[in-house]
Amino acid sequence: MATKDASIAPLRTGLSLQAVIEEYLQHGRLRSTAAFGFSPDQSLEEVVAGDFKYAAMRPAAFEQIEREVLLRHRGGVVPASLCSTYLRGRYLNSELGLVPGPPLATILRWLSRRRPAPQVELFETFKAESGAVLVDRSVKFCFTRIGDRYRVTSLMPRIVGSGDDRPALEELDCTLVGMEPCERRSDWLERVAQNPKGRQRRAALRAVERIAAWLPP
């Protein structure tokens, strides 16, 4: 992400974090773009003029813009970073950065209550210190361990396309590079055991215990 411009105050969207997550889960994309101060039909230059800023360049002809926002959450607000991706000036989709985001256990609980039940796949990397939840092969929740709890750090929808743009889009959409499937509780415990004995392993074990209710044995 680009360095935050302190002269631009975060945008208070009026939306709740849960409502935004529900949009991604239902539609695979952000629909309430107006609440974030832009329209998919606007030109990239117009959106940047409206308090967005250019972020790091993506492969090929991709560009990203971002802005800091505030979402309602549990009686207060949670800071987030909205990052929108464009291909040759055409809007594709937006992802949401969350630091710190909600506990992974909260997201797994929401998913378990949805009907029809979504397809939920868990992946991890580096001794169960971080990973991703892939929902219906269309939305990815990235998470990392902070202390004795896994916290969601970003919400990334799949970006799709066809024709001549497909190779570049596949490069942009390598969602699970370096991650291994980790669906069962025993898998997580095996990864945690690779940590040195002591505080780090105990904290990692506690983090796994917090999500154990949503993992098969």
Answer positive or negative: Cα dihedral of 161, 162, 168, 173. Answer: positive
Query: Considering the domain boundaries, does residue 59 fall inside one?
Result: yes
* 3 part of a folded domain: no
Give CA–CA dist 140/136, Å, rounded.
9
| Block mean pLDDT (10 aa), the chain, length 217 | 59 92 90 94 90 73 87 89 88 88 92 90 88 89 94 85 51 64 92 90 95 92
Among residues 80, 97, 114, which one ends one of the domains?
Answer: 97
**Backbone φ, ψ for residue 192 (5° rounding):** -60, -40
The pLDDT, as a whole number, for residue 138 is 84
Query: The domain containing residue 88 runs over which residues?
Result: 11-97
Residue 28: count other Cβ atoms within 10 Å of its Cβ. Answer: 18
> What is the predicted pLDDT for the residue at 171?
53
The total number of structural domains that make up the chain: 2
Are residues 122 and 76 part of one domain? no
Within-domain flag for 6: no
On whether both 146 and 201 belong to a single domain, the answer is yes
Let me know whether 109 and 202 are in one domain: yes
Residue 202 lies in a domain: yes
The predicted structure's pLDDT at residue 137:
84
Longest dimension (CA), the chain: 54
185 occurs within a structural domain = yes
Question: What's the pLDDT at 38?
Answer: 94
